[in-house]
Structure 1
Amino acid sequence: MKRPLATWLLFAIALAWFGFAPSAQAQTCTITTTAVAFGVYDPQATGALDGTGSVRLDCSNYGTVNVALDDGGATSYPARRMTTPSGPDLLGYQLYTDNARSIVWGDGATAATDTVNCFIGISSDGCVSTLFSLRATRTIYGRIPALQNVGIGNYSDTVRLTITF
């Protein structure tokens, strides 16, 4: 039985494909953050104080990276707070995924929180990535609610960031 040339050609291409299939590579990322900068808080101001920061992901491969934030030094996401070493006051604040400051950036598993997916190499979901770049940058939106009776001082909190591939 004689096989047509096209059959042999397809068979050869299939062998070549399986023989030269790319190997899987583990994703690695370097994370660089810019702290959310609120400026000076006035306890008597009637409006909230907003600020922004960012997270930058430099990764080894294209693909999706999920970014989650913990609740900082608080016991829950609704109670995020900053402290000052010079006094007992706590300054409440929140971190958000959107400019409207309506979606709390958290772990996605806790009620009323969400995470962010960055597609390395593609600008989407608020992540900015230049063409053919293995870098994605995402803004973090912060807000301190108005009329909190706190003393003078430098307030801060440490929030841990977790990425999942």
Structure 2
Amino acid sequence: MKWWCADEYRLCQGARMRMARAAILALLLVAGTPAGAQQVCSASSSPVSFGLYDPQSSATIDNAGSISVTCQATVSLLMAYTVKLSSGNSGALSQRKMLSGANSLNYQVYTDAARSSIWGDGSSGTSFITDGYLLQVLTPVVKHYTVYGRVPGSQNVKAGSYLDTLTILITY
């Protein structure tokens, strides 16, 4: 009986050792993740198209587009990033402008469907998206964000094709 108990103890002790080694390995993976782990993010977008604009109408035109952010890390337990937008042609985040030659049409893009938070770089009262993910190694993670656009009504503009280009800045 003593022999069985001793043998049983060794089996239990061996199991504990395997569990301890597994726990230490997990801790080393967590503790061994370098602060500057190699991470790569890219962005793509579908445009916000407002269609035809009637300068005699006071109605706003709302539409939406999207930004897709793809990130991949070689070693990462926490991948955090921000998505910011430039001011475009206007040079001012508070009032963006689409251009057609020398003519301009005011518009704005927002982070929310209520169109209350201007999507910018955090300056001048603007907001940006902060996001991330956990525990993805060598697997690309794609996240999609809606861009809510609005063109105010009653702008006295000439007929033309108006366009603006915003730069997406991802910081990680």
Shorter chain as denominator, the TM-score bin is 0.7 to 0.9
Q: Which has the larger share of helix?
A: 2
Are residue 83 (structure 1) and residue 96 (structure 2) matched?
no
Q: 1:74 aligns with which of 49, 69, 90?
A: 90
| CA RMSD in angstroms, aligned pairs only | 2.7
* Displacement of 1:18: 6.4
The AA in structure 2 aligned to 1:84 is S
Which has more radius of gyration?
2
The AA in structure 2 aligned to 1:72 is G
The AA in structure 2 aligned to 1:117 is T
Q: Separation in 2 of the partners of 1:11 and 1:148?
A: 70
- 2:168 matched to which residue of 1? 161
TM-score norm. by structure 2 comes to 0.74
Structure 2: gaps (5+ residues): 1-12
- 1:43 matched to which residue of 2? 55
- 1:117 matched to which residue of 2? 130
Cα shift readout 1:93-150 (whole Å, capped 9, x = no counterpart): 0010000101000001x122011112247xxxxxxxxxx9711000000101100010
- 1:59 matched to which residue of 2? 71
Q: 2:119 aligns with which of 98, 101, 105?
A: 105
TM-score norm. by structure 1 comes to 0.77
The count of corresponding residues between Structure 1 and Structure 2 is 147
The 5-angstrom pairing of residues 142-161 of structure 1 reads: 142-161=149-168
Q: Separation in 1 of the partners of 2:133 and 2:51?
A: 31
The AA in structure 2 aligned to 1:79 is Q
Structure 1: gaps (5+ residues): 122-131
* Displacement of 1:31: 1.0
Identity %: 32
* Displacement of 1:89: 1.4
Query: What secondary structure is seen at the aligned counterpart in 2 of 1:36?
Result: coil
- 1:32 matched to which residue of 2? 44
Relative to structure 1, is the Cα distance of residues 15 and 55 closer, same or farther in structure 2, using a 3 angstrom cutoff?
closer
